[in-house]
């Protein structure tokens, strides 16, 4: 009901010309969209929380068509190449490196002549491992245990009695973990794994479409189809929590792996999670020393010639966005 009311409200703003005026007022700027995963449809009975940062193929194509009607496609290099205009442009990016990007996003982008930028977590490419953030969510959603106790700021017990409590636990625990040092993170993750040991933490056959990462052969095929591969660190840590040595290692290993496997320069990067608290000036200096040209945050909204190339803005696209909500988001109305 809430989503239906929201659609009516945002549709009304469109009829009043609000979006057209906002686009015109920002015609000199570019907008960058963040996607994570894409599937033909959400499996029946699947928790929508697991797919919150996904879109369906029909949603994605509808959004691409909307973008082409109202903006013009850019390539990542346009944002850092001197003298290239980004006025009225859009760039499609995907974070993490899921195989569904290769299966479903690439064919749609190719059909419309668009180059996307795919930021990959190199240590997970070709494995059946899960991102550590996904491990947290799946353990909490799937365990039959009634609760879990973790040493966060202080020992804290989370009830897992119903789906709402499990979702709240996932949000709260991940929020704490994203601010921890790598050593503390490993300790808390081990606590969770030892208590919730009834949940497998590798990708099962029925979970491949949602969780499996690309192989290097698939990454190379993306490049052969004019898609750009960028860095998303080696293990997906929150960079601001790392020591200087750890930060350098995460970024350098990722860049080296991409350049070795694709035989292409890796010049672009996106910060895991991407909020201002998740990266710092030390990380930016490492990126510059390694030869990166730009890096993307998850801080909205627009980019122009004044935007810091190592703090480029992006807008996150999620499952529950109708086309009207999508338009309102891109225009900065919500």
For the stretch 283-299, pLDDT in tens is 999 999 999 999 999 99
> DSSP class of residue 263?
S
Q: Higher confidence at residue 17 or residue 36?
A: 36
CA distance 161 to 171: 16
Mean pLDDT over 147-174 rounds to 95
Average pLDDT in the chain: 94
Class of domain 2-129+206-330: alpha beta
Report the percent of the chain where pLDDT is more than 90: 88
74 pLDDT band, cuts 50/70/90, is: very high
Residue 268 tokens, joined: 């672009």
CA 39 to chain centre: 15
CB 241 within 8 A of CB 223: no
Strands 302-303 and 30-35, by their bridges, are: antiparallel
214-225 pLDDT tens trace: 999 999 999 999
Q: Does residue 301 have a cis peptide bond before it, meaning omega lies within 30 degrees of 0? A: yes
CA quadruple 322, 274, 210, 138: dihedral sign? negative
**What is the pLDDT, as a whole number, of residue 18?**
83
Q: Is 37 helix (H, G, I), strand (E, B) or coil?
A: strand
Q: What is the pTM of this model?
A: 0.95
Mean pLDDT over 123-151 rounds to 96
Q: Where are the domains of the chain?
A: 2-129+206-330, 132-195
**What is the pLDDT, as a whole number, of residue 118?**
98
Mean pLDDT over 114-133 rounds to 97
**What is the pLDDT, as a whole number, of residue 25?**
85
- Out of 31-35, 75-79, 256-260, 323-327, least confident range: 323-327
**What is the pLDDT, as a whole number, of residue 1?**
45
pLDDT at 7 over 50: yes
pLDDT at 134 over 60: yes
> DSSP class of residue 104?
I
Closest C-alpha to 313, from 267, 287, 276, 282: 276
Mean pLDDT over 165-194 rounds to 95
DSSP code string of 183-197: HHHHHHHHHHHHHST
pLDDT at 9 over 90: no
pLDDT at 5 over 70: no
Query: What residues have CB less than 8 Å from 114, skipping those under 6 apart?
Result: 64, 73, 92
- How many of the other CB atoms lie within 10 Å of CB of 155? 9
């Amino acid at each position: 009901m809430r989503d239906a009311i929201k659609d009516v409200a945002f549709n009304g703003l469109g009829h009043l010309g609000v979006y057209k005026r906002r686009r015109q007022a920002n015609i000199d700027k570019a907008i960058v969209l963040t996607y994570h995963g894409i599937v033909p449809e959400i499996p029946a009975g699947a928790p929508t929380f697991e797919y919150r940062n996904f879109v369906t193929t029909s949603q994605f194509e509808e959004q691409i068509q909307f973008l082409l009607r109202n903006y013009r496609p850019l390539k990542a290099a346009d944002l850092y190449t001197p003298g290239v205009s980004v006025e009225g442009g859009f760039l499609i990016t995907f974070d993490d490196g899921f195989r569904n990007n290769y299966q479903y996003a690439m064919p749609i982008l190719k059909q419309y002549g668009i180059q996307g930028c795919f930021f990959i977590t190199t240590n997970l490419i070709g494995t059946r491992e899960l991102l550590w953030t996904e491990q947290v969510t799946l353990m909490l959603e799937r365990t039959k245990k009634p609760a879990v106790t973790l040493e966060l700021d202080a020992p804290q017990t989370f009830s897992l009695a119903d789906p709402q409590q499990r979702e709240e636990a996932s949000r709260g625990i991940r929020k704490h973990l994203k601010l921890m040092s790598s050593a503390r993170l490993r300790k808390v993750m081990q606590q969770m794994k030892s208590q919730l040991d009834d949940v497998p933490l590798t990708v099962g056959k029925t979970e491949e479409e949602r969780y499996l990462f690309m192989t290097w052969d698939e990454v190379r095929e993306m490049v052969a189809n004019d898609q750009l591969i960028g860095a998303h660190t080696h293990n997906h840590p929150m960079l601001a929590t790392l020591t200087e040595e750890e930060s350098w290692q995460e970024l350098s290993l990722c860049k080296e792996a991409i350049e070795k496997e694709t035989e292409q320069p890796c010049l672009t990067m996106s910060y895991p999670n991407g909020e201002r608290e998740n990266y710092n000036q030390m990380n930016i200096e490492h990126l510059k020393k390694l030869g990166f040209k730009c890096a993307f945050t998850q801080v909205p909204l627009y980019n122009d010639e004044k935007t810091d190339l190592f703090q480029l803005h992006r807008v996150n696209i999620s499952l529950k966005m109708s086309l009207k909500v999508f338009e309102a988001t891109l225009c900065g109305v919500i």
